[in-house]
Amino acid sequence: MDLRYSPEQQAFSTDVRSFTRAHLDPKVAKKVLEGARLEREDYLGWHRSLHKKGWVGVGWPTSYGGTGWDATHQHIFDEVTADEGAPILIPFGLRMVAPVIMNFGNQAQKDFHLPKILSGEHWWCQGYSEPGSGSDLSSLKMKAERSSDGTHYIVNGQKTWTTLGQHADWIFCLVRTSNEGRQQEGISFLLIDMKTPGITVRPIIMLDQEHEVNEVWFDNVKVPATNLVGEENKGWTYAKFLLSHERNGIAGVGRCKRIVKRLHHVAQQAYSNGRPLIEDARFRDKIAQAEIDLRALEITLLRVLDAEREKHAPGPEASLLKIKGSEIQQTLTELTMMAAGPAALPYVREGDNGAPDVPWLSDEAYRYASGHYFNFRKTTIYGGSNEIQRNIVTQLVLGL
């Protein structure tokens, strides 16, 4: 596999950068680069710009309106847009439920949902984890009971850690439709309109004081049976397919490179023993090791994406990406905290909106350092904890 960019790929990188600088709202880019809170419209404004360009369906087949890009072009796009401060394309619709619908949904589901995901008309969230059923997802208990006439399900239960669920129009859920046999055999995959009566979204405030995740309650929620994806009680198969795509995204190579730039900036501004911290050999070695790990992660990601292009579903490699990507993100945010030192201690959630005018908050890289550090503690837990991912690698790669 030749990892050098061809002249055509270099030209594509230039095109992506030029487009991003011309169409990304500078105020949104500033928020992203500083790590400030993004609102719903910040995400959707960028999404709409890309949709007009035909660049939203990254990784989608052209038959569904996607870009048809190969692995390298996808990687270039993610890397350049992250570097320029573009918000992430919300993955729950584009990169998670859409592939499930493409591969396992019926034609009516494809015709209705895929265009609205592509345009940004429908924002999706994920209903997987429950209290007591996180990494052990097969133990989930939220019930979906089919009506006697077979036309709908009645859904009762709770989902938790629902990222950006407060913005969502739809949620895809794993639900229990049978208690017979193995736990995995009684799970189904439902698409649910968030406006359906009986759904309540309650915020969960994170360590950084942000409202990023939620708990979602379902009280006798009536869901049409036509919203069942694939076969009843076969949802575990679809869930595993989706999780492999999610874990690829968790690697976050482009985002990590952006954090590395911020880390270099902080280390250049901070002083230790009368000189910039970046000149301290021991600290510089820590940054170098993180960048070496990131480069190795990037090469592994390219290999996985290349295999997907050849129609090979992600395997245990997705678990490796999740493990290492999440650990690198934590390392980088921890190093940023170390570089900022005492200046990182006072965390101001509102950022520029009402932040006190004190010297140690004059640089945004310092202002959000502790918030990022605390927030990124979650990365080794969500998407299946790293302990679970190591078990998967042990079983599927080492055969133990």
Query: How far is 253 from 150, CA to CA, in rounded Å?
Result: 45
Residue 125 token pair: 């969230």
What pLDDT does 311 receive? Answer: 58
Q: Which of 281-285, 337-341, 359-363 has the lowest mean pLDDT?
A: 359-363
The SS3 assignment for 57 reads coil
Distance CA 319, CA 244 (A): 8
Interior angle at CA 40, CA 37 and CA 43, nearest 5: 85
Note the pLDDT tens digit of each residue in 67-124.
989 878 988 999 999 999 999 999 899 999 999 999 999 999 999 999 999 999 999 9
* Residue 90 Cα distances to 9, 97, 99, 122, 199, angstroms: 25, 11, 14, 11, 22
Which architecture characterizes domain 124-234 according to CATH? Beta Barrel (2.40)
245 against 136, higher pLDDT: 136
pLDDT of residue 208: 79
- 235 by Cβ neighbours in 10 Å (0-12 / 13-18 / 19+) ranks as buried
Q: What is the pLDDT of residues 283-335, one digit of tens each?
A: 999 999 999 999 999 888 888 777 766 655 666 777 888 899 999 999 999 99
The topology (CATH level 3) of 251-396 is: Butyryl-CoA Dehydrogenase, subunit A; domain 3 (1.20.140)
Kindly tell me the sign of the dihedral angle through the C-alpha atoms of 69, 291, 42, 217: positive
List % helix, strand, coil for the chain (3-state, nearest 5). Answer: 55, 15, 30
Tell me the C-alpha distance between 350 and 5, whole Å: 41
- pLDDT tens digit string along 163-222? 999 999 999 999 999 998 888 899 999 999 999 999 999 999 988 788 999 999 999 999
pLDDT of residue 254: 87
> How is the chain split into domains, by residue range?
7-89, 124-234, 251-396
Q: Is 70 exposed, middle or buried (0-12, 13-18, 19+ CB in 10 A)?
A: middle
Q: How confident is the prediction for the chain on average, in pLDDT?
A: 88
